[in-house]
């Protein structure tokens, strides 16, 4: 089975499980969870882009996922201690990379779709 199919199944299973379980995140932890989720999404979109470019490496993905989450949570923790919104640095970086990776993935599929439609028109 292709890796992207497994990723899609895992994402859907996670969404279904997350929406079906009634769980509560304390307000004091919500900023940590938000930034960790953003870091994780950045890593997932980056991994998918790397798969499309045929440059995916599981070790890079796992270390990036864990490292990004730890750095983002650390910035959030230090920022709360200093009463400075340091987490915004992570939000800007991860948000920018997330949208950039999404744009690259979107262009990849649109280019494939356009090439396929041109091929169909020629036949």
The stretches of 1-123 forming alpha helices (DSSP H) are 3-20, 27-52, 58-82, 87-122
pLDDT tens per residue across span 62-110: 999 999 999 989 999 999 999 998 888 889 999 999 999 999 999 998 9
- Do the Cβ atoms of 95 and 38 come closer than 8 Å? yes
CA distance linking residue 42 with residue 27, whole number of Å: 23
Query: What mean pLDDT is predicted for residues 6-30?
Result: 88
Q: At 1, is the pLDDT very low, low, confident or very high (cuts 50, 70, 90)?
A: low
Name the pTM for this structure.
0.75
**Residue 8 confidence (pLDDT):** 84
């Amino acid at each position: 089975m292709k890796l992207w199919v497994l990723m899609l199944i895992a994402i859907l299973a996670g969404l279904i499980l997350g929406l079906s379980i009634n769980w509560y995140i304390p307000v004091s932890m919500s900023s940590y969870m938000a930034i960790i989720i953003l870091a994780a999404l950045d890593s997932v979109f980056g991994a998918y882009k790397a798969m499309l470019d045929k440059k995916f490496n599981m070790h890079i993905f796992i270390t990036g996922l864990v490292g990004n989450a730890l750095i983002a949570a650390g910035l959030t923790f230090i920022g709360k201690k200093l009463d400075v919104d340091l987490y915004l640095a992570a939000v800007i970086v991860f948000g920018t990379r997330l949208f950039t990776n999404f744009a690259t993935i979107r262009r990849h599929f649109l280019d494939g779709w356009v090439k396929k439609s041109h091929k169909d028109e020629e036949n």
